[in-house]
């Protein structure tokens, strides 16, 4: 309350996340906010209007703001505005955490982790995204025709790049003038750090043309890291909009170029010790706990895909040849595997950096649910002592199918339908954190979206088949 007065805040933006990752908000006059609202919450949400929440007969929900998420929104200039991220509570006398509140589920995952003997888990998401000058989409009359058009001054098809175009798959770390978005990213980092308290250590242009970016944010505990991802998306989109551009977390918007991933780095700790580090492992300095955790991820990789890559577009990214992991395998420097153990440094001095990097997730996912699912899979692997197996040191993309079979390398789902069908048959490992109804809501939602796309002809199909 003191900060509201010091910052002369006039409005408070109360933000929360829906089951499928959309950021929602309602705004109230700061004068109407009471200190009791931090404990009691506010009756501001009709759950039947939020996809995946409630039916119309059980729709009264409460949002309870978390004071630790206070931040000022600098691009709202006329009336100083602060934001608070909220938990969702069920209505009534108990006011329990709503069972399909993603943030509440993330808190449940942290408690479950503690019950298994690990007092802390650290999460480092690497969020990639595209920034376009303009995006035009026409699918309103699909029976007549469909189209999209991407405008980017960096792109090789642009007429505005005055000779400094970035070729397909040739956009990694170019200096200006090829990289046109450095000042934009600088502004994003300034807001992330100084307004939202999210530590950033670097930013750069990524591999794809047409404005693919990455801003590196520092690792944090599970709920805090998921909060940071949602804030990150909110910030980069709004600053792009203020610059008359458009930022998108769509995994694969550019045909024949790299897509955007959200690699997730994770480690388990107890009493200040990184339990994933073992100096006696010559290859990866990886402990048996880490091997079991990684083994759990690999065992449940197909089902995990439904949660960490939850859109039809996700599976246009997860194809061989574009640096996206497709094969269920692990290694140190091998980026063709879904699990990588970063090997930039070795030795006791760098033991805190030992972690598992899971490379299948993309930024369209709900970070709260993604981290919950990864945690559940990893802890299931530890409980079952499911070892990760031998590393694959070859480029899996170049292997023959026979060689992959010899090494026991399986593949991630090739479509959203395959992913949610895998989740349907392999969801028991999630039950300590996600209940049956939450899992059913995820599957139903993905099934609807899959049908939405599958009933519409793809434009390229006309080039392939119109003359048959």
460 as an active site residue: the answer is: no
Chain centre to alpha carbon of residue 334: 22
Catalytic residue among 37, 87, 110, 128: 128
Peptide bond into 262 cis (omega under 30): no
Q: Which residues contact 363 (CB under 8 A, 6 or more apart)?
A: 127, 128, 129, 229, 233, 249, 251, 260, 261, 262
* Tokens, residue 415: 């479509």
185 as an active site residue: the answer is: no
Catalytic residue among 87, 101, 126, 323: 126
End-to-end CA distance of the chain: 69
Strand partners, 150: 135
Catalytic residue among 257, 285, 357, 446: 357
- How far, in Å, CA of 367 to CA of 153, rounded? 31
Decide if 317 contacts 362 (C-beta within 8 A).
Answer: yes
440 as an active site residue: the answer is: no
* Tokens, residue 461: 């199909």
Phi/psi of residue 12, nearest 5 degrees: -120, 125
Closest CA to 104 of 56, 63, 49, 44: 63
- How far, in Å, CA of 28 to CA of 26, rounded? 7
Closest CA to 132 of 158, 162, 168, 163: 158
Catalytic residue among 64, 100, 291, 359: 359
335 as an active site residue: the answer is: yes
126 as an active site residue: the answer is: yes
Catalytic residue among 22, 29, 40, 46: 46
Catalytic residue among 83, 100, 185, 263: 263
DSSP at 96: P
Q: How many CA atoms, within 13 angstroms, populate the side-chain half-sphere of residue 448? A: 8
Decide if 229 contacts 364 (C-beta within 8 A).
Answer: no
DSSP for 154-181, please give it: TSTT-SSSTT-PPPTT--SSPPTTT---
46 as an active site residue: the answer is: yes
- How far, in Å, CA of 373 to CA of 377, rounded? 6
Q: Are strands 11-17 and 273-274 parallel, antiparallel or unpaired?
A: unpaired
Catalytic residue among 87, 206, 227, 446: 206
Catalytic residue among 25, 95, 243, 335: 335
- How far, in Å, CA of 107 to CA of 375, rounded? 12
* Tokens, residue 363: 């930024």
Catalytic residue among 214, 362, 380, 421: 214
13 as an active site residue: the answer is: no
- How far, in Å, CA of 236 to CA of 238, rounded? 6
List residues with catalytic annotation. 46, 126, 128, 206, 214, 263, 335, 357, 359
């Amino acid at each position: 309350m003191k900060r509201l007065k010091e910052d002369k805040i006039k409005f408070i933006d109360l933000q929360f996340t829906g089951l499928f990752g959309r950021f929602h908000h309602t705004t109230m006059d700061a004068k109407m906010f009471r200190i009791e609202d931090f404990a009691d919450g506010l009756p501001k949400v009709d759950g039947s209007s939020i996809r995946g929440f409630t039916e119309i007969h059980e729709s009264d929900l409460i949002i309870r703001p978390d004071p630790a998420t206070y931040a000022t929104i600098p691009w709202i200039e006329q009336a100083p505005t602060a934001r608070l991220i909220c938990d969702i509570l069920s209505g009534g006398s108990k006011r329990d955490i709503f069972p399909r509140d993603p943030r509440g589920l993330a808190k449940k995952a942290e408690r479950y982790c503690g019950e298994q003997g690990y007092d802390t888990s650290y999460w480092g998401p690497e969020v990639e995204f595209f920034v376009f000058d303009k995006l035009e989409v026409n699918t309103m009359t699909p029976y007549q025709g469909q189209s999209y058009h991407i405008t980017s001054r960096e792109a090789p098809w642009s007429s505005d790049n005055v000779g400094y175009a970035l070729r397909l798959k040739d956009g990694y770390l170019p200096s200006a003038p090829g990289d046109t978005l450095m000042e934009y990213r600088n502004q994003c980092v300034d807001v992330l750090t100084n307004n939202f308290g999210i530590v950033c250590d670097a930013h750069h242009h990524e591999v794809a043309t047409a404005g693919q970016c990455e801003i590196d944010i520092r690792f944090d505990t599970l709920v805090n890291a998921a909060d940071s991802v949602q804030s990150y998306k909110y910030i980069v989109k709004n600053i792009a909009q203020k610059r008359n551009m458009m930022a998108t977390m769509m995994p694969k918007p550019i045909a024949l170029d790299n897509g955007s991933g959200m690699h997730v780095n994770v480690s388990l700790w107890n009493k200040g010790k990184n339990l994933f580090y073992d100096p006696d492992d010559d290859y990866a300095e990886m402990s048996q706990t880490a091997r079991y955790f990684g083994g759990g991820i690999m065992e449940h990789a197909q089902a995990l895909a439904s949660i960490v890559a939850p859109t039809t577009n996700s599976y246009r990214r997860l194809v061989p040849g574009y640096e996206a992991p497709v094969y269920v395998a692990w290694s140190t420097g091998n980026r063709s595997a879904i699990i990588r153990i970063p090997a930039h440094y070795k030795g006791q001095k760098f033991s805190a950096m030992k972690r598992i990097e899971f490379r299948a997730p993309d930024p369209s996912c709900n970070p709260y649910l993604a981290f919950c699912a990864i945690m559940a899979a990893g802890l299931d692997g530890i409980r079952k002592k499911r070892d990760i197996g031998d590393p694959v040191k070859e480029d899996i993309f170049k292997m023959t199918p026979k060689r992959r079979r010899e090494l026991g390398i399986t593949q991630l789902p090739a479509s959203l339908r395959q992913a949610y069908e895998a989740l349907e048959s392999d969801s028991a490992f999630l039950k300590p954190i996600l209940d049956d109804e939450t899992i059913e809501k995820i599957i139903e939602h993905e099934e609807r979206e899959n049908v939405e796309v599958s009933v519409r002809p793809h434009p390229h199909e006309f080039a392939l088949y119109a003359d048959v």
